[in-house]
Structure 1
Amino acid sequence: MKRLAPLFAASLLTFGVQAQANEDLRFDPEAMAWLCAPCHGTQGRELYESMPALAGLDPEFFTQTMLDYREGRRATTIMDRVARGFSDAEIKAMALWFAEQPAEQWNPEELNHAQ
């Protein structure tokens, strides 16, 4: 197992370099949006009153907010670390995807019946 660790690390590094070099890389914004679901709800629909809904947000607002988090221009508890995980192109793709989602709040009764 110890001998496989350097190979695994090298393969991750190679993948990262290839992904950065490929300007034509296609993003799946819906798959990336699932990373937001635990706090912001599925498809960006508000799940908790304390977390803002992302569905229906203006894409320029979403993009600028994420960039501000990533660059440390906006105070946050965790979003600065989350935003650092996305490239400019990924943030823009998610912004456009969330803007297309209907801005509606989850019904708490809907959550209770799903269990």
Structure 2
Amino acid sequence: MMKTKLLISAFALTLAQPVLAEGQNPIATGAAMAWQCAPCHGTNGQEFLEAMPPLAGMPVEQFTKAMIAYREGTRPAIIMDRVARGFTDAEIDAMAVWFEKQPLKQWENTSLNEAQKVNSTGGQK
């Protein structure tokens, strides 16, 4: 009886997992990963401080090149080199696409409705 329950539980977990090609690991969405940037770059990348440039509206190619350069140590950084090492190319691409879709404006000027729309859709449309 216990083996049957264990087998059924294992089967249910297998069905709940996303289908992936062999050897692939699932990645979080660009929106989910972008929240890691919020403490320095502001909510949705909308911070306007000289030391921390906004990421909202940044073109995909610019974001991707910067993150890869930080990760490879070819771009000077105080902390971004260590942060970037934690992301794969696919994760960097996902964040780049998400940030490019965000409106470039100060977060303080973003309405609650706009913020909720960003959080529910993963980006502005």
Structures share a fold, TM > 0.5?
A: yes
In the alignment, structure 1 segments of 5+ residues that lack a partner are: 1-19, 111-115
Q: How many residues align?
A: 90
Task: Tell me which residue corresponds to 1:53.
Answer: 54
> CA contact under 8 A between 1:39 and 1:47: conserved in structure 2?
no
Task: Tell me which residue corresponds to 2:76.
Answer: 75
- Find the residue that maps to 2:36 and give its secondary structure: coil
Task: Tell me which residue corresponds to 1:103.
Answer: 104
Task: Tell me which residue corresponds to 1:93.
Answer: 94
- Find the residue that maps to 2:53 and give its secondary structure: coil
Which residue identity is paired with 1:30? A
**TM-score relative to the length of structure 2:** 0.65
2: CA distance, partners of 1:84 / 1:95 = 16
**TM-score relative to the length of structure 1:** 0.71
Which residue identity is paired with 2:31? E
Which one has a bigger Cα radius of gyration? 2
Aligned-residue Cα RMSD (Å) equals 2.3
Task: Tell me which residue corresponds to 1:21.
Answer: 23
**Cα deviation code 1:55-95 (max 9, x no counterpart):** 00000000000000000110000000000000000000000
